[in-house]
Amino acid sequence: MSKKKIVVCHAQVPFVNGGAELLVDQLCVQLRLRGYNVDSVKIPFKWYPKNEILNHAFTWRMIDLTESNGQKIDMVIGTKFPSYGIRHPNKVTWLVHQFRQVYDLFNTAHSDFTMNPNDLAIREAIKKFDEATLKESKKIFTIAQNTTNRLKNYNNIEGETLYHPPKHIGKYYNEVYGDYILSIGRLDKLKRIDLLVEAMKYTPKKVKCLIGGTGPEEDQLKKMVHKYGLEDRVHFLGFVDDQKLLELYAKCFSVYYAPFDEDYGYITLEAFLSKKPVITSQDSGGVLEFVKDGINGHISAPIPEKIAEKIMMLYDKRHSNTVDMGQEGYDLVKFITWDYAIDKLTETLK
C-alpha cells in the first residue's frame, strides 16, 4: 500500500525563524516517522505595504495541491495566516495564529492598523478571508487555548486546542540551579525582554542574566544594559545552538518568559522539561495555560520592580522551593507528546 501524501502549508517570512517555523519543521519530521509521505509548501509572506497582505492571502487560493505529478495528495495542513487559505477537499488547519494586527493587537502600540478607513477596509477583508477559508477545514485545531479563544471571540469559529511538545523533547535535562536567570527567544517588542533588563537594576550584583536570541530589538536592549551599568551581569549570547540551549536550561535557576499575549510559547515547556520555574506576566496569554503562580513559577505584573521581586524569590530559594517548583512544572507538561498530536491531525485519513 502506498504511503498517504500530506502537504504542510506555511507562510514564511524570509530569514525569520521562530516558533511557527519550528512547528512546521517538526510536524513534517514526526509525520514521516509515522509512515506518511510528507512535504512542506512555503510561500514568502510580506505584510507591507498593507495592500500586499491581501495579495499574499489570495495567492494561496490560486494554488492547486489536490495532486502532484499525477499523484493524489491526500491531505493538506494549514498553519498560520494565510496558509490555511489553500483549497483542498481534505484540509485540516492547525492554527498557529491569525494576522493578529487586525484582531487582538488592532489599534494598539503593537499594530500599525488603526481606525482610518483604508485600515478598516483591509481589516474587514482579512476577517472575511479567515472566516471563509477556515470554515472549509474538515478539522480546526489550534496550538493553544489562547488561540482557540481568539478564534471564537473574533470569528465565532470553534477550534480544538492541540498542544505539541518542543523541538528537543526527550533531550532536556536538569543539572544545577545556578546564579543566572535565562531568557531565550527572538528579541522582539512583543517578547518584552526590556522588562527583564530593567528588572535587573533592582536585583543584587550576585544575580546574573543570560539572554539568548537575535532580533530587531537587540541594539536597543544593549543600549539599556549600558545605560543601567549592567554589562557585568546581563550578557547577550546571540544565536544559541541546540546543545548550548539544553545546557543553558539545565544550569539556570529560572526562566523569564513574559511576552504580551503569546499564542503558545515553546519556552514555557522547555523550561518545565528542564525542571526550571518560569517567571511570566499577568497578560502573557498562552503561557498562563501552564504557569501557576507560586506552584511552578511566578506570575507578575508587567512592572520591572515586581519582576525583580519574583526573581529574588526564586534566587534566594534556589536550593529548596525553587527546585520543588521546577519539578511541579515538569510533572505538568511531561505528558504532552507527538503521538497524540499526530493521531488527532490525521483522523480524516482513517
Residue 38 has pLDDT above 80, yes or no: yes
Contacts of residue 120, defined as CB under 8 A and 6 or more positions apart, other chains included, come to none
Instruction: Report the mean per-residue pLDDT for the chain.
Output: 96
Query: Would you tell me which CATH number, out of the four given (3.90.380.10, 3.40.47.10, 3.40.50.720, 3.40.50.2000), belongs to the domain 5-162?
Result: 3.40.50.2000
Query: How far apart, in Å, are the Cα atoms of 103 and each of 109, 195, 298?
Result: 13, 25, 28
Q: Do domains 5-162 and 180-333 have the same CATH topology?
A: yes
Query: For position 1, what pLDDT does the model report?
Result: 63
Average pLDDT over residues 19-40: 95
What are the sequence ranges of the domains in the chain? Answer: 5-162, 180-333
pLDDT band at 271 (very low <50, low <70, confident <90, very high): very high
Pick the CATH number of 180-333 from 3.40.50.740, 3.40.50.1000, 3.40.50.2000, 3.30.565.10: 3.40.50.2000
Alpha-carbon dihedral angle through residues 160, 86, 106, 140, given to the nearest 10 degrees: -10
Cell numbers linked to 242:
541546540
Residues 72-114 pLDDT 10s: 999 999 999 999 999 999 999 999 999 999 999 999 999 999 9
Count of alpha carbons within 13 angstroms of residue 204, beta-carbon side:
6
Confidence at residue 19, expressed as pLDDT on a 0 to 100 scale:
83
Residue pair 184/132 in contact by the 8 Å Cβ criterion: no
Which residue in the block uniquely carries the three cell numbers 500530506?
Answer: 6
Task: Please give the helix or strand (H or E) that residue 72 lies within, else none.
Answer: strand 71-72
- Select from 132, 95, 157 the least CA-distant residue to 345: 95
CB atoms within 10 A of CB 138: 13
**Res 296 pLDDT > 90:** yes
- Render pLDDT for 217-265 as a digit per residue (tens, 0 to 9): 999 999 999 999 999 999 999 999 999 999 999 999 999 999 999 988 8
Residue 280 pLDDT > 80, yes or no?
yes
- pLDDT tens by residue, 186-214: 999 999 999 999 999 999 999 999 999 99
Structure confidence at residue 149 as a pLDDT band (50, 70, 90): very high
Distance CA 202, CA 304 (A): 8
pLDDT at 265: 84
Asked if 278 contacts 268 with a C-beta cutoff of 8 angstroms, the reply is yes
Query: Mean pLDDT throughout 42-65?
Result: 95
Q: In the prediction, which pLDDT does 266 show?
A: 87
Average of pLDDT values for 40-55? Answer: 95
140 vs 150: CA distance, rounded Å? 13
For residue 3, the 8-state DSSP code is P
Q: How confident is the model at residue 55 (pLDDT cuts 50, 70, 90)?
A: very high
> To the nearest whole percent, how much of the chain has pLDDT over 70?
100
Q: Are 151 and 157 in contact (CB under 8 A)?
A: yes
Distance CA 93, CA 130 (A): 12
pLDDT of residue 316: 96
| pTM of the complete model | 0.86
